[in-house]
Amino acid sequence: MNVLIIGQNEINGVLCDRLKERGYTPYVINDSSRIRSFRGESGNFTIRVSAAEADVAGAGAVKSSAVGSGAADASKASVGTADAGKASARAADVSKASARAADVSKASARAADASKASVGTADASKASARAADAGKTETGVAGLGATSLNTTDVNAAAVIITERVGKKTPDIDGGIPTSLFNPDDIKKIADSKTHTPVVVLLDYFGESPQSSTVRALNEAFTLARKKLNVIYLFRFMRIAGLERESFYSDVRGAGVTFIKYENLKIYYDKDRGMFEIDVSDGINRVELSTKNVISDCGYGACEEFLKLAGKLRLKVNEAGYINEDRYVLNPTLTSRKGVYYFNGDVAADKLEDGISYTLEAMAEDLDFISCYEPVGRPDIEYIDKNYAVVEDDKCAFCYTCFRACPHAAMEPDADARVMKNINGACESCGICVAVCPANAITMADDEPELTAMKDKSGKVRIICCENSGEIALRSVLPTLGELASKVDIEVVPCGGGIGLERLATALRFYGKVMALTCMDGACRHFDGNKRASRQAGRLSEALGSVGVDKGRIGFLEISHAMPNVLRDELLTFLDK
């Protein structure tokens, strides 16, 4: 199986080695801007990239556009075609072009030689097959699907992103600091034997992530060992839980001066080419002049990274991060099944753990896909999986579900002008059902529950998320005594599935309705709590506008570990 790695990062080599050990064939695309489109699901992704680069693990960049138009065609044609001689000649030509472009590997040359040898031989097909196999296993060129002279389709079972969040360091009053993530420029400082201080600056452009702390400590230690005067300016030292406390002491012992600043002013003297720094820790004040300031970009993703996340339709937070602040995604999961992301913290200090976790998660995702798809394998137990179903005759093709789905499980069928659910990508959250303006989407296993229900105006309907509200509620009900008999529970996979229609329908039969969702930032489907909050608010305002008691609708964000809070809120709601 092919695994595509996207991003230029020093961890790519280690990743490729681990993937090969597990029997995967890794591809690397260093320049993420070459990705044109991304479609599919775990086990069957199709990524269209510019043919100018289709890197292969251990082989370097393939710079010739011939790869996009000829290599895959030659590989496909050479295996099992009647006209093996012509196909083999094309394969040889492509191998030559690839070798000239990037000197891919000796394996490419062997593949080309095998292709040449197959021309005119009685057993041409077998030789061609061997050439294709050599290309696949050693250079990875075989398996790329050709679409045009300028683009190539890469088919992959999984995708791993190693692209760094930030690449560019903002300027300070017209001066450009050295990027913490540019080792070549830092090495120039180390080799310069400069007599001015080298200032390592964090938390200036915004709160620096943990990965910046780890890298900054490493660079400061290296520079101090070069006998340079290193001053480390910071507001937060993020080393807790990283087993880095002893290394922090080592960095101090190497001669690095640490200043946890409260006040900091920096301006750039263009005439002298110097940064003028005025820093105070609240007690002591220090003034510095230096040409060498090393800094990160602070908290926030750069434009290139946001474009990549957008192309892959991955959910990001307000700062543009994919999984740094989501414990449910820790350490390498993303919003899209089969796509994994090594953020800076994992890459810097938890690489081996991150790789092991990713390989296990990848295997589970691929097993899951094979188990829910009825492919006629008697050796596996198929999964009865719930997923969204779109009724074609109702679909308005408005793209509402496409935009709302947090897991990229909705894709447009342009020919039929309807949305289609990618069953293998669907996480059954129900958000698309709640937002569809045409009521064209249902969940495959959902059954209408309230249509035949009698009046229950003396009872309360609680619609709760299975990951938070339900867990807390189950522990609270036994403590309510007789009041527990007044509560009916409806469990949903996500608060995002609690739409206006679900709430209004429940209110037809019940005296009161309450929605319980995850806390902000804890939703496994990212913004389900916010969506439910908006819907409950809309219905409450609508009730008030027609003179109906707004208190009939309740909403609460709750953790599974907050039963006492829920009990107090529930008692108040029941007594109103």
Q: Domain limits of the chain?
A: 178-295, 388-443, 456-575
Cα-based distances in Å from 215 to 167, 228, 248, 346: 14, 17, 12, 12
Residue carrying the six token digits 């069957």:
44
Nearest to 186, CA basis, from 284, 101, 105, 296: 296
**Rounded to an integer, what is the distance from CA 18 to the centroid of its chain?**
20
Distance of alpha carbon 200 from alpha carbon 309, whole angstroms: 30
Q: Which two tokens stand for residue 475?
A: 């522990």
193: Cβ–Cβ under 8 A, 6 or more apart, which residues?
228
Q: What is the pLDDT of residue 209?
A: 76
Distance of alpha carbon 8 from alpha carbon 317, whole angstroms: 23
391: Cβ–Cβ under 8 A, 6 or more apart, which residues?
440, 441, 442
Q: What is the pLDDT of residue 77?
A: 32
Label residues 4-36 b or e (16+ Cβ within 10 Å = b): bbbbbbebbeebbebbeeeebbbbbbbbbebbe
Distance of alpha carbon 331 from alpha carbon 353, whole angstroms: 9
Distance of alpha carbon 7 from alpha carbon 35, whole angstroms: 11
Nearest to 171, CA basis, from 344, 293, 306, 277: 293
How deeply is 178 buried, as exposed, middle or buried, from its count of CB atoms within 10 A (0-12, 13-18, 19+)?
Answer: buried
The CATH number of the structural domain formed by 456-575 is: 3.40.50
For the segment(s) 178-295, the CATH number from 3.30.450.40, 2.40.30.10, 3.50.50.60, 3.40.50.2020 is: 3.50.50.60
pLDDT tens per residue, the chain (576 residues)?
A: 899 999 988 899 999 999 999 999 999 999 898 999 999 999 999 999 987 544 444 333 333 222 333 333 333 333 333 343 333 444 444 344 344 433 434 433 443 444 444 334 334 344 344 333 333 333 333 333 333 446 788 899 999 999 877 656 678 888 999 988 788 899 999 998 888 999 999 999 888 877 788 889 999 999 999 999 999 999 988 776 556 677 888 999 999 999 999 999 999 999 999 999 999 999 999 999 999 999 987 666 778 889 999 999 999 987 788 987 777 888 999 999 999 999 887 887 788 999 999 999 999 888 766 555 544 444 444 445 688 999 999 999 999 999 999 999 999 999 999 999 998 899 999 999 999 999 999 987 765 554 446 778 889 999 999 999 999 999 999 999 999 999 999 999 999 999 999 999 999 999 999 999 999 888 999 999 999 999 999 999 999 999 999 999 999 999 988 999 999 999 999 886
Q: What is the pLDDT of residue 198?
A: 97
Sign, Cα dihedral of 519, 520, 523, 525: positive
Strands 339-341 and 388-390: unpaired
302: Cβ–Cβ under 8 A, 6 or more apart, which residues?
165, 166, 167, 168, 320
Return the CATH fold of 388-443: Alpha-Beta Plaits (3.30.70)
CB 335 within 8 A of CB 354: no
Q: What is the pLDDT of residue 58?
A: 38
Helix (H) or strand (E) holding 225: helix 210-225
Nearest to 389, CA basis, from 444, 332, 345: 444
Q: Where are the beta strands (DSSP E) in 111-251?
A: 144-146, 151-156, 158-161, 178-179, 198-201, 230-234
CB atoms closer than 10 angstroms to residue 459:
16
Q: Which two tokens stand for residue 418?
A: 């309807």
Q: What is the pLDDT of residue 168?
A: 60
Residue carrying the six token digits 């180390």:
190
**Amino acid (1-letter code) at residue 112:** A
Distance of alpha carbon 281 from alpha carbon 264, whole angstroms: 9
Q: What is the pLDDT of residue 437?
A: 94
Distance of alpha carbon 346 from alpha carbon 322, whole angstroms: 13
Cα-based distances in Å from 199 to 18, 223, 235, 542: 37, 11, 14, 58
CB 369 within 8 A of CB 424: yes
pTM for the predicted model, two decimal places: 0.70
388: helix, strand or coil: strand
